[in-house]
Amino acid sequence: MTIGSSLPDLLGIRLPIIQAPMAGVSSPAMAAAVSKAGALGSIGVGATDAAGARAMIAEVRARSAGPLNVNVFAHRPPIADPATEAAWIAKLSPDFKALDTAPPGQLTEIYRSFVEDDDMLALLIEQRPSVVSFHFGLPDEAAVRALRDAGIVLLASATSLTEARAISAAGIHAVVAQGWEAGGHRGTFDPDAPDDRIGTMALTRLLVRELDLPVIAAGGIMDGAGIAAALMLGAAAAQLGTAFIASDESLADKGYRAALTSDAANHTIMTRVISGRPARSLANRFTALGLDIPPRDVPAYPIAYDLGKALHVAGKTRGEFGYGAQWAGQGAPLARAMPAARLVQTLGAELEQALGAGRQTGGRRDKS
Amino acid sequence: MTIGSSLPDLLGIRLPIIQAPMAGVSSPAMAAAVSKAGALGSIGVGATDAAGARAMIAEVRARSAGPLNVNVFAHRPPIADPATEAAWIAKLSPDFKALDTAPPGQLTEIYRSFVEDDDMLALLIEQRPSVVSFHFGLPDEAAVRALRDAGIVLLASATSLTEARAISAAGIHAVVAQGWEAGGHRGTFDPDAPDDRIGTMALTRLLVRELDLPVIAAGGIMDGAGIAAALMLGAAAAQLGTAFIASDESLADKGYRAALTSDAANHTIMTRVISGRPARSLANRFTALGLDIPPRDVPAYPIAYDLGKALHVAGKTRGEFGYGAQWAGQGAPLARAMPAARLVQTLGAELEQALGAGRQTGGRRDKS
């Protein structure tokens, strides 16, 4: 396992494609299908504990002997702020009331950050998935060393050159360049710091030029042409999330799938009102609430998410899906509903075709 | 001149590269150098009148017999709003005062939109540049027909699928897919409508998939690798603006060039405070003013720009360059200072190399 060797070789995959970990959307069945098809399957365990993660890993392994990426949330643990939380509950109360429900009386920290979850660290070292990836930041030096010493390849998300440099300095094997167009939670280390909102194209190129470690492009990539573009930018692989939301193995509910395959897919928005951290969702009733709300009014992640999930449940039981966390990137209109394995095969064939077309015409193509 | 023929052939260029028209930054010397080197040189005449445009076209032609793109601003003419304008002058007065200057007493519409500039239309038909491009919208059907009948190839900027469809329906030959990361003025038709802020990667791919006309990718593209990526997405060509700002022929002033080649290049922001329309600039004193200002407080484009330019002049005479319209895209840290012709040659060589590397390794490259 040498840095500088081909990243696909390092990850044990035939295709330079990573199915993005999407807590609540990706599933063990999806990860297994993707890995068996030659790409890297991923599960997100940030929304569960070590026992839940153990069960998910076992489920993947029962289905596939292929490589597996286990993603954890390494956010700065929130500091509870009862006044902000009470005001936030009051602010969203009319929406609960319109659904004939009462909001919860108080909010809790529904997920434990990996940076203080020793059980999760121990589980990963015991289970040794081939890859572990970090989102929202990095764990401490000892945790990184322990995972590396266990033979696990480490990835981490960066939304800026500054974050990417921190990732490189921490001894992570490769960096995921998450562009502004990416769906779901933005991996920003400090959600309250100014954000330059750099798109995938510029961020990938910048990181490839400035860093010595392999770069994985993420955000707005939906098909083989997009993967080929990422490779041209110097990325070692592409990570696709939204492309897999409509796949058979996805946990996306009916309302989410319906929105994704409708005109709604043309409108995504970055908002922190759903969870407390900036994340890109299909524009819906919930994101509309956030248009005029200053960031400081929203409780910290994941405390705000406790209320967001309650509101979604309240809506869903009455057939109102517009309060869901319908995470999606800007490429959403290009999502395809099919089994995950077939999607991977399709992406591989499209990638070959795109690279071949580039070869034949030397850049004089008009349309693909 | 058939739609569907190769766009570079249609534009009369060897390389699938367009130097973006940048009113106030690009120059006739730049356009001539670019066209002689095998790409499409452009001038922006949106900030001048027909007589000024005539002189600029003559200057290009004295230097090059190559193709030329003349860009016009086809914005909806502003409706003056004295109350908003007076409040805006008052709002910026402290900044003028800190520079020992008084703001102007009132603001004027400093540029005439192409949609009501019959002299400019007549000049273009008389001069017949090989290409005319529209930003901020489209002129009426009669103007489009007259330009087409004169044998001029027409381009127009789109920031969304909706705008691109309007461009296609109007009989424009090719669409410029301007991603959110692009520097300078965003080409949005209606700056007050909701903006999905779609990045170059997703927008290009979406337009290629949904439209029958050639797509030119713009935004965040700084080198041959970026151009190769655009071609992989199915674009027929790439348009680069920020890449040319530091070129010898650029009109960028000393403060702008210094900022572009410093750490400041890592921070760009979309703001409407400088001109009245959303535009991406290097973050500076002026853009900082806009962080807390609601869009409705800023007068319409280009009326607000009258004050913005006055503030820049006031600053510049005292050595304060931070009030400049330092337009730049998110790829700004990758800008290179060299003669424009050499930049075009470099881009062409890098493009060949990127496409060749993609060919040799079939997508298994780690770094370029």
Give the per-residue SS3 of chain B. CCECECHHHHHCCCCCEEECCCCCCCCHHHHHHHHHCCCEEEEECCCCCHHHHHHHHHHHHHHCCCCEEEEEECCCCCCCCHHHHHHHHHHHHHHHHHCCCCCCCCCCCCCCCHHHCHHHHHHHHHHCCCEEEEECCCCCHHHHHHHHHCCCEEEEEECCHHHHHHHHHCCCCEEEEECCCCCEECCCCCCCCCCCCCCHHHHHHHHHHHCCCCEEEECCCCCHHHHHHHHHCCCCEEEECHHHHCCCCCCCCHHHHHHHCCHHHHCEEEECCCCCCCEEEECCHHHHHHHHCCHHHCCCCCHHHHHHHHHHHHHHCCCCCCCCCCECCCCHHHCCCCCHHHHHHHHHHHHHHHHHHHHHHCCCCCCC
pLDDT for position B5:
56
**Is there a contact between B202 and A231 if contact means CB atoms under 8 Å apart?**
no
Q: Are residues B49 and B182 in the same domain?
A: yes
Partners of residue B351 in chain A, C-beta under 8 Å: 363
Q: Are residues B180 and B92 in the same domain?
A: no
Partners of residue B216 in chain A, C-beta under 8 Å: none
Q: What are the b/e assignments for B69-98, b being 16+ CB within 10 Å?
A: bbbbbbbeebeeeeebbeebbebbeebbee
**Is there a contact between B228 and A358 if contact means CB atoms under 8 Å apart?**
yes
pLDDT for position A99:
96
**Is there a contact between A359 and B359 if contact means CB atoms under 8 Å apart?**
yes
**Is there a contact between A201 and B180 if contact means CB atoms under 8 Å apart?**
no
Using CB atoms, which residue from B8, B268, B366 is nearest to A196?
B268
Q: Are residues A256 and A276 in the same domain?
A: yes
Q: Are residues A326 and A349 in the same domain?
A: no
**Is there a contact between B221 and A214 if contact means CB atoms under 8 Å apart?**
no
CATH number for the domain spanning A179: value is: 3.20.20.70
Q: Reply yes or no: is the peptide bond before residue A302 cis, omega within 30 of 0.
A: yes
Using CB atoms, which residue from B160, B179, B228 is nearest to A232?
B228
Partners of residue B353 in chain A, C-beta under 8 Å: none
Q: Are residues B292 and B203 in the same domain?
A: no
Per the domain annotation, does B1 fall within a domain?
no
Per the domain annotation, does B83 fall within a domain?
yes
**Is there a contact between B329 and A223 if contact means CB atoms under 8 Å apart?**
no
Chain-centroid distance of CA A168 in Å reads 20
Partners of residue A352 in chain B, C-beta under 8 Å: 362-363
Per the domain annotation, does B3 fall within a domain?
no
Residue type, A177: A
Question: How many distinct structural domains can be found in chain B?
Answer: 2
**Is there a contact between A364 and B196 if contact means CB atoms under 8 Å apart?**
no
CA distance B165 to chain A (A): 14
CA distance B255 to chain A (A): 21
Q: Are residues B317 and B354 in the same domain?
A: no
Name the stretches of chain A with pLDDT < 70.
Answer: 1-5, 358-368
Q: Are residues B325 and B235 in the same domain?
A: no
**Is there a contact between B220 and A201 if contact means CB atoms under 8 Å apart?**
yes
Partners of residue B330 in chain A, C-beta under 8 Å: 196, 198-199, 202-203
Mean pLDDT, consecutive 10-residue segments, chain B of 368 residues? 67 96 96 98 98 98 97 97 97 96 96 97 98 98 98 98 98 98 98 96 98 97 98 98 98 96 96 97 94 92 97 95 96 98 98 82 44
Q: Are residues A126 and A212 in the same domain?
A: yes
**Is there a contact between A232 and B354 if contact means CB atoms under 8 Å apart?**
yes
**Is there a contact between A266 and B161 if contact means CB atoms under 8 Å apart?**
yes
Using CB atoms, which residue from A196, A226, A364 is nearest to B16?
A364
Using CB atoms, which residue from B201, B222, B355 is nearest to A359?
B355
Per the domain annotation, does B142 fall within a domain?
yes
CA distance A222 to chain B (A): 8
Which of A6, A206, A231, A269 would you mutate first to test chain B, the one with the most B CBs within 10 A?
Answer: A231
Partners of residue B266 in chain A, C-beta under 8 Å: 160-161, 196
Question: In chain A, whose CA is at the least distance from the CA of B222?
Answer: A202
**Is there a contact between A366 and B225 if contact means CB atoms under 8 Å apart?**
no
Q: Are residues B183 and B297 in the same domain?
A: no
State the residue range of the domain holding A93: 80-110+252-335
Q: Are residues A197 and A307 in the same domain?
A: no
Q: Are residues A16 and A27 in the same domain?
A: yes
**Is there a contact between A206 and B16 if contact means CB atoms under 8 Å apart?**
no
Q: Are residues B219 and B344 in the same domain?
A: yes
Question: In chain A, whose CA is at the least distance from the CA of B180?
Answer: A199
Residue type, B280: R
**Is there a contact between B236 and A354 if contact means CB atoms under 8 Å apart?**
no
**Is there a contact between B330 and A198 if contact means CB atoms under 8 Å apart?**
yes
